[in-house]
C-alpha cells in the first residue's frame, strides 16, 4: 500500500461508517485520500471510523444524511460541501463510492408495496440522484464505484426485491461510463458475495457460516477488507483503463454451476 497513491484526492463513501463501507473508508484514507464518511443513523460508528482514520494518520470527516427520503441527495452533498469547508479543503470530489444500502430478506409473496418502495428508494433512487448531483463536483479523471451484489447473477428467491435494486444500479454503470469517458472518469461496479459483516445476523450461527463459506472457491466468507481492496484499486490510477465493468468480488461463489 502506498500512503500517497490517492494524495490530494477527496472521496465520498456512502454508508462509510460500518461493515464494507468502513473498510473502504479506512483503505482510501490509508492511501492518502480525504474521506467523507457518510452515515444515515449510526453516528457513533461514523465517528469511530473517522477517529480510526485520524489515529492512523489519515484525514476524514463524517456527514449525516438519511437516504430514501425526499431531498436525500441534496443533504448528502450539502454535508459534503460543509465538511470540506470545515477542514479547509478545496471544493470538488474525485472518488464517489455508492455503498449504502438496505436488505429486504423476504420472498416475493411477502413483500409489501411499502417494503418495495423503501428498498428501491435507498438502494437505487438515492445513488442515482447522488451521482446526478456529483457530476458538477466531480473532477476530470475521477472515479465512481457502485457497490452491487453477487446475487444479481445467481437466483435467490428470498431476496428478489433487493436483487432487483442492485440490477437496476448495475445498468447505470456502463451508461454513465460511456457518458463520462471523455472526461477521463471511470465508472465501475463491485459485487461482493457472502461477506462477514453485522448486516447479516444469521452469520452468528456456525452452521450457516460454514454453509455459506462452502459456496466460495476458497471455502471461506469474504471480509470487508477483501472488498475494500478491489474498490481501492479501481479508485487509483492503475485502473485508468477499466470502465463500465461489473467486477465479481464474491470469492468465486457458485463457479462451475
Q: Which residue numbers are catalytic?
A: 148-149, 162, 166
Give CA angle at 126 (122, 128), nearest 5°.
135
Q: How far apart are CA 49 and CA 25, in angstroms?
A: 8
Q: What's the burial of 62, exposed, middle or buried (CB within 10 Å: 0-12/13-18/19+)? A: buried
CA-nearest of 117, 26, 127, 38 to 80 is 38
CA 48 to the chain's CA centroid: 18
Torsion on CA atoms 147, 148, 149, 154, rounded to nearest 10: -160
Cell reading at 97: 463510492
CA-nearest of 3, 22, 13, 6 to 223 is 22
Q: How far apart are CA 57 and CA 87, in angstroms?
A: 15
Cell reading at 181: 469517458
* Bridge partner residues of 176 (DSSP): none
Q: Which residue has the cell 477527496?
A: 10
Amino acid at each position: 500500500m502506498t500512503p500517497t497513491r490517492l494524495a490530494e484526492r477527496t472521496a465520498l463513501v456512502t454508508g462509510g461508517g460500518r461493515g464494507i463501507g468502513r473498510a473502504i473508508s479506512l483503505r482510501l484514507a490509508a492511501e492518502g485520500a480525504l474521506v467523507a464518511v457518510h452515515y444515515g443513523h449510526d453516528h457513533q460508528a461514523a465517528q469511530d471510523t473517522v477517529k480510526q482514520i485520524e489515529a492512523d494518520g489519515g484525514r476524514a470527516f463524517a456527514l449525516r444524511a438519511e437516504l430514501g427520503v425526499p431531498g436525500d441527495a441534496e443533504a448528502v452533498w450539502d454535508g459534503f460541501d460543509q465538511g470540506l469547508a470545515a477542514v479547509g479543503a478545496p471544493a470538488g470530489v474525485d472518488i464517489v463510492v455508492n455503498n449504502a444500502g438496505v436488505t429486504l430478506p423476504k420472498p416475493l409473496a411477502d413483500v409489501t408495496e411499502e417494503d418495495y418502495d423503501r428498498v428501491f428508494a435507498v438502494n437505487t433512487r438515492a445513488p442515482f440522484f447522488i451521482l446526478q448531483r456529483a457530476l458538477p463536483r466531480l473532477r476530470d479523471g475521477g472515479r465512481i464505484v457502485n457497490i452491487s451484489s453477487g446475487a444479481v447473477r445467481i437466483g435467490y428467491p428470498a431476496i428478489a426485491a433487493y436483487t432487483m435494486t442492485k440490477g437496476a444500479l448495475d445498468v447505470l454503470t456502463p451508461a454513465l461510463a460511456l457518458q463520462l469517458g471523455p472526461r477521463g472518469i471511470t465508472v465501475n461496479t463491485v459485487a461482493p458475495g457472502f461477506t462477514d459483516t453485522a448486516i447479516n445476523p444469521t452469520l452468528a450461527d456456525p452452521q450457516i457460516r460454514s454453509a455459506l463459506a462452502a459456496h466460495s472457491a476458497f471455502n471461506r466468507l469474504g471480509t470487508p477488507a477483501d472488498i475494500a481492496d478491489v474498490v481501492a484499486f479501481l479508485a487509483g490510477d492503475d485502473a485508468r483503463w477499466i470502465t463500465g465493468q461489473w467486477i465479481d468480488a464474491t470469492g468465486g461463489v457458485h463457479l462451475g454451476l
